[in-house]
């Protein structure tokens, strides 16, 4: 697969997972989880998802377990939202150096998108 396509797919998966986990899932164990990076494999069969986990070690372990448990649901949601031939298998790992700016960048992009939609509507 083309490198640019892999990057676009990785970014799309990251944005959708951030939206699903951060705003749509109601599992209390996931309240302190932020998706920081997604790396999709060249064959698009696997995706390594780095997440920033907050709280003590016990809470981080519970959050990772909740993500692993919800991986099937998350793949289904990705399949319904993204037009991909293969929805990657999701592999979650804790980001050792979470980048706070990635969240700010995402929120700014999201605000710009919604502003663009609102300006075009009657």
- pLDDT, one tens digit for every residue, the chain (122 residues): 688 999 999 999 999 999 999 899 999 999 888 898 999 999 989 999 999 888 889 999 999 999 999 999 999 999 999 988 889 999 999 988 765 556 666 676 677 777 665 555 45
Q: Which domains does the chain have, with CATH numbers?
A: 3-107 (3.30.300.20)
Query: Cβ(35)–Cβ(14) under 8 Å?
Result: yes
Instruction: Indicate the pTM of the whole model.
Output: 0.77
**Alpha-carbon distance 63 to 65, whole Å?**
5
């Amino acid at each position: 697969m083309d490198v640019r396509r892999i990057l676009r797919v990785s970014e799309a998966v990251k944005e959708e997972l951030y939206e699903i986990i951060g705003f749509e899932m109601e599992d209390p164990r996931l309240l302190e989880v932020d998706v920081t990076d997604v790396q999709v494999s060249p064959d698009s069969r696997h995706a390594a998802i780095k997440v920033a986990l907050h709280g003590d070690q016990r809470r981080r372990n519970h959050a990772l377990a909740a993500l692993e448990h919800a991986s099937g649901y998350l793949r289904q949601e990705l399949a319904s939202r993204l037009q991909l031939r293969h929805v990657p298998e999701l592999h979650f790992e804790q980001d050792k150096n979470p980048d706070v700016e990635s969240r700010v960048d995402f929120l700014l992009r999201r605000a710009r998108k919604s502003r663009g939609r609102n300006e075009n509507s009657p």
